[in-house]
């Protein structure tokens, strides 16, 4: 029963949204008097001079970011798993994951832009009074965007790798390969990585689908002449001429096709890599040179950590800056003026917390009832709403909602957030829940305890750590949602993220700084609670904390 409801919740809106997009794309759009099917919308879309470069950009940035993220995550894990740096990195991963994409993108821009931190340091050193006229941010080939996406996806993949590590038997595999004369890195890539990759494949495809279809990061870091297809679709959706809606719908379907095409490319790349690896294994070479990547993996981990933290620090500085010209490293003066516009900030903050809180409570109830009834959802089902691009099905859903006479506002937004929150909560929690040793339940039952009692007194307390961790991720996912809030909320639901992206268009770095800091706090607070709560609750029961 619960499973059926959850399946409906996850699939229903996506399916409805697809219907709402397919009809106008093929010409059926009664509101503007079109009721005959045809390919006009596609023809118009293909006539747009920016179409081909826009599609090419989506594919290259999406694939580029995914390749970079997978290479980065594999190098970092190869170099660090089992070391003390790995333990330190592990602690940072949750918060890094929680940081909304838009916040991380702003942070990166503050650092690498021609008037950003790096150039300012050089300018002070060499006495420049003007930044170089270099295309770094919004570059037509999307390099800044690839970098920004990869930087955010590497922590996600690392977290997935951590979940996969226990089943990979990595220490014994490394021992054996070490005994056979392979170095750590070579041993990792030839024996451990295949086992891990098998388990993180779906998340990798998720990263690929996300990167190809992303809108907010593309608006902040991506090219504009032309923008990637997902941004172009969002613009078309907003055109006052309603006829543009069918063009947008056609674009949304092309977007779905792009994701499918990228999946097949990735699938082919996977096969090639496998063949390549088998070739190396059969050749018997020990690849001593692979060890040189070890410092590189470590450096990548440090670079990402530094970038994300510096980004937030600079955002915080901008939020209290008076005039801050180039090439000054610090503002001329400090003022709390940007923070003094409290009303809008507090409203948006409350709305953000309310939606995320409600979504997380709903996700919690669903996760608990699934655990209690000992049922699992098929993994593909959880991934379905994450893999279909948001920009494909949300516009259709918005149109259908209007036709059904459903008010835009808090509850529709909550439901749509839940579609994205729930998979992350369940995906992160199910691993720990599966790993729970059933023999505790057997002992409990043998001691005469009821199922409820075992659940409440044994299973839940032991799983409280992972459960809170999963909820924290769910909260952060909700905080970071841009397109669902914008489209389904009908503009009446304002969260920190929609405000921040709206402000990005105005380019007022002080206010962007304020919202970036507020977003960070909203997304990170649950992690702090999740980390502290078990320690407080179980301060007298050390054995429970490793649950």
Partner 1 sequence: MKSPLLALALIAPTALWAETDPADWDAVVEAAKGQTVYWNAWGGSTATNDFIAWVGDRVEEDFGVILEHVKLTDTADAVTRVLSERDAGKDDDGAIDMIWINGANFASMKEAGLLYGPYAESLPNWAYVDTDGKTVRTDFTVPTDGYESPWAMAQVVFMYDTADMEPVGDMAALLDWTAAHPGRFTYPQPPDFLGTTFLKQALVDLLTDPSVLQEPATDENYAEVAAPLWEWLDALTPNLWRDGTVYPQTGPAQLQLIADQEVDLAISFSPGEASTAIANGQLPDTVRTFVLDKGTIGNASFVTIPYNSGSKEGAMVVADFLMSPEAQAHAQNPDVLGYGTVLDMAKLDDAQRAAFEELDLGIATLSPAELGSVQAEPHPTWMTRIAEDWDARYGVTQ
> Contact residues for partner 1 (CB under 8 A)?
30-33, 49-50, 53, 114-115, 129-131, 133, 135, 137-141, 219, 223-226, 237-243, 245, 321-327, 332-333, 335, 337, 341, 343-344, 398-399, 402-403, 405, 408, 490-492, 494, 499, 501-503, 505-511
Q: Tell me whether residue 344 or residue 443 sits nearer to partner 1 (CB atom).
A: 344
Q: How far is the CB of 307 from partner 1 (least distance, A)?
A: 20
Q: Tell me whether residue 138 or residue 211 sits nearer to partner 1 (CB atom).
A: 138
Count the Cβ atoms, other than its own, within 10 Å of residue 522: 24
Q: How far is the CB of 378 from partner 1 (least distance, A)?
A: 35
Is residue 69 within 8 Å of 149, Cβ to Cβ?
yes
The DSSP secondary-structure symbol of 34 reads B
Q: How far is the CB of 413 from partner 1 (least distance, A)?
A: 13
Q: Tell me whether residue 422 or residue 503 sits nearer to partner 1 (CB atom).
A: 503
Q: Tell me whether residue 24 or residue 72 sits nearer to partner 1 (CB atom).
A: 24
Is residue 436 within 8 Å of 463, Cβ to Cβ?
yes
Is residue 371 within 8 Å of 458, Cβ to Cβ?
no
CA–CA distance, 36 with 97 (Å, rounded to integer): 46
Q: How far is the CB of 518 from partner 1 (least distance, A)?
A: 15
Q: How far is the CB of 453 from partner 1 (least distance, A)?
A: 50
Q: Three-state SS for 321?
A: strand
The three-point CA angle 225-227-233 to 5° equals: 135
Is residue 116 within 8 Å of 109, Cβ to Cβ?
yes
Q: Tell me whether residue 513 or residue 534 sits nearer to partner 1 (CB atom).
A: 513
For residue 512, CA distances in Å to 318, 355, 496 come to 8, 22, 10
Q: How far is the CB of 26 from partner 1 (least distance, A)?
A: 17
Q: How far is the CB of 135 from partner 1 (least distance, A)?
A: 5
Q: Tell me whether residue 29 or residue 210 sits nearer to partner 1 (CB atom).
A: 29
Q: Tell me whether residue 219 or residue 524 sits nearer to partner 1 (CB atom).
A: 219
H, E, C per residue of 329-365: CCCCCECCHHHHCHHHHHHHHHHHHHHHHHHHHHHHH
Q: Tell me whether residue 502 or residue 529 sits nearer to partner 1 (CB atom).
A: 502
Specify the residue for token string 């209290």.
320
Q: How far is the CB of 507 from partner 1 (least distance, A)?
A: 3
Q: How far is the CB of 399 from partner 1 (least distance, A)?
A: 7
Paired tokens of 141:
């080939």
CA–CA distance, 248 with 255 (Å, rounded to integer): 10
CA–CA distance, 271 with 404 (Å, rounded to integer): 46
Q: How far is the CB of 124 from partner 1 (least distance, A)?
A: 13
Angle separating helix axes 143-168 and 84-98, nearest 10 degrees: 130
Backbone angles phi, psi at 34, to 5 degrees: -105, 115
Q: How far is the CB of 344 from partner 1 (least distance, A)?
A: 7
Q: How far is the CB of 520 from partner 1 (least distance, A)?
A: 20
CA–CA distance, 111 with 304 (Å, rounded to integer): 12
Q: How far is the CB of 150 from partner 1 (least distance, A)?
A: 21
Alpha-helix residue ranges (DSSP H) falling in 114-215 = 117-126, 143-168, 170-179, 184-187, 193-213
DSSP state letters, 432-451: HHHHS-THHHHHHHHTT--H
DSSP state letters, 107-125: HHHHHHSTTSHHHHHHHHH
Count the Cβ atoms, other than its own, within 10 Å of residue 385: 22
Q: How far is the CB of 152 from partner 1 (least distance, A)?
A: 21
Go through the chain and tell me how many residues it has. 547
Q: Tell me whether residue 343 or residue 437 sits nearer to partner 1 (CB atom).
A: 343
Q: Tell me whether residue 295 or residue 322 sits nearer to partner 1 (CB atom).
A: 322
Q: How many CA atoms lie within 13 A of 237 on its CB side?
A: 24
Q: Tell me whether residue 291 or residue 494 sits nearer to partner 1 (CB atom).
A: 494
Paired tokens of 391:
């920009």
Q: Which residues contact 358 (CB under 8 A, 6 or more apart)?
A: 414
Please name every residue paired with 321 in a beta bridge, in sequence order, or none if there are none: 334
Specify the residue for token string 């909700």.
478
Q: Tell me whether residue 4 or residue 125 sits nearer to partner 1 (CB atom).
A: 125
* Farthest-apart Cα atoms in the chain, separation: 79
Q: Tell me whether residue 207 or residue 355 sits nearer to partner 1 (CB atom).
A: 355
Specify the residue for token string 């990595």.
170
Q: Tell me whether residue 53 or residue 194 sits nearer to partner 1 (CB atom).
A: 53
């Amino acid at each position: 029963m619960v499973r059926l409801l959850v399946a409906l919740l996850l699939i229903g809106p996506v399916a409805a949204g697809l219907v709402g997009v397919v009809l106008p794309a093929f010409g059926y759009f009664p509101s503007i008097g079109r009721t005959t099917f045809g390919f006009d919308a596609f023809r118009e879309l293909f006539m747009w001079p920016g179409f081909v470069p826009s599609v090419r950009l989506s594919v290259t940035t999406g694939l580029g970011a995914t390749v970079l993220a997978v290479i980065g995550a594999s190098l970092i894990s190869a170099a660090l798993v089992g070391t003390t740096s790995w333990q330190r990195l592990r602690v940072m991963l949750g918060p890094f994951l929680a940081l909304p994409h838009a916040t991380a993108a702003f942070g990166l821009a503050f650092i690498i832009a021609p008037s950003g931190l790096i150039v300012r340091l050089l300018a002070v050193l060499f006495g420049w009074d003007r930044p170089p006229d270099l295309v770094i941010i919004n570059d037509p080939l999307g390099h800044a965007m690839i970098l920004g996406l990869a930087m955010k996806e590497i922590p996600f993949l690392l977290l997935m790798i951590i979940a996969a590590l226990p089943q990979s038997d990595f220490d014994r595999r490394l021992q054996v390969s070490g005994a056979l004369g392979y170095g750590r890195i070579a041993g990792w890539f030839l024996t451990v990585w295949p086992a891990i990759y098998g388990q993180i494949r779906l998340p990798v495809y998720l990263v690929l689908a996300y990167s190809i279809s992303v809108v907010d990061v593309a608006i902040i870091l991506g090219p504009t002449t032309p923008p990637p297809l997902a941004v172009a679709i969002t613009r078309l959706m907003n055109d006052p001429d309603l006829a543009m809606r069918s063009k947008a719908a056609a674009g949304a379907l092309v977007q779905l096709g792009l994701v499918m095409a990228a999946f097949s490319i990735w699938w082919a790349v996977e096969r090639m890599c496998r063949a390549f690896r088998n070739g190396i294994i059969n050749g018997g070479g020990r690849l001593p040179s692979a060890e040189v990547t070890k410092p590189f993996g470590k450096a990548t981990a440090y670079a990402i950590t530094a970038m994300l933290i510096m980004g937030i620090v600079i955002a915080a500085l901008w939020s209290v800056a008076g005039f801050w010209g180039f090439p000054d490293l610090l503002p001329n003066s400090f003022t709390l003026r940007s923070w003094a516009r409290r009303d809008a900030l507090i409203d948006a903050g409350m709305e953000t917390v309310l939606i995320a809180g409600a979504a997380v409570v709903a996700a919690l109830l669903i996760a608990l009832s699934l655990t209690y009834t000992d049922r699992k959802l098929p993994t593909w089902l959880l991934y379905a709403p994450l893999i279909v691009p948001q920009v494909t099905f949300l516009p259709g859903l918005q149109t259908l909602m209007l036709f059904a006479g459903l008010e835009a506002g808090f509850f529709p937004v909550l439901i749509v957030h839940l579609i994205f929150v729930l998979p992350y909560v369940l995906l992160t929690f199910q691993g720990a829940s599966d790993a729970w040793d059933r023999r505790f339940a057997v002992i409990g039952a043998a001691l005469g305890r009821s199922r409820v009692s075992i659940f409440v007194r044994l299973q839940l307390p032991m799983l409280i750590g992972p459960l809170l961790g999963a909820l924290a991720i769910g909260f952060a996912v909700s905080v970071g949602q841009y397109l669902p809030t914008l489209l389904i909320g009908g503009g009446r639901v304002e969260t920190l993220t929609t405000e921040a992206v709206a402000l990005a268009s105005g380019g007022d770095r002080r206010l962007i700084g304020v919202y970036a800091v507020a977003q960070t706090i909203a997304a990170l607070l649950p992690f702090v609670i999740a980390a502290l709560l078990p320690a407080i609750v179980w301060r007298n029961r050390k054995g429970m904390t490793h649950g």
